[in-house]
């Protein structure tokens, strides 16, 4: 019998906000796969002088191409599947 483990979302190292699944994937794709501290999408956009929409579009394109760093979206609630 296995137990389900809840992993709290990591917090942004800049502003303290929760980092989304896409945010984690973006940190691992753009910065380094081995990162242990994360930035939220808003802080990543500011750091790289781009927009949140641009980064989220990149995440969607990576997801569509099959990149495992970006989990599939669950159509019912907009959340992500594990």
pLDDT tens digit string along 28-70? 999 999 999 999 999 999 999 999 999 999 999 999 999 999 9
Which two structure tokens, joined as six digits, stand for 2?
């296995």
Whole-number Cα distances in Å, 36 to 1, 32, 49, 54: 30, 9, 22, 24
What's the rounded Cα separation, in Å, for the pair 75 and 31?
28
Cβ neighbourhood burial of 76 (10 Å; 0-12, 13-18, 19+): exposed
Instruction: Record the pTM.
Output: 0.80
Residue 1 pLDDT more than 70?
Answer: no
Tokens, residue 79: 């959340």
């Amino acid at each position: 019998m296995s137990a389900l483990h809840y992993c709290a979302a990591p917090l942004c190292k800049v502003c303290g906000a929760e980092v989304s699944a896409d945010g984690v994937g973006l940190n691992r794709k753009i910065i380094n796969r081995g990162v242990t501290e994360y930035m939220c999408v808003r802080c990543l956009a500011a750091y790289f002088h781009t927009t949140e929409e641009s980064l989220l579009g990149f995440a969607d394109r990576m997801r569509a191409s099959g990149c495992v760093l970006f989990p599939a979206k669950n159509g019912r609630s907009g959340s992500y599947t594990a």
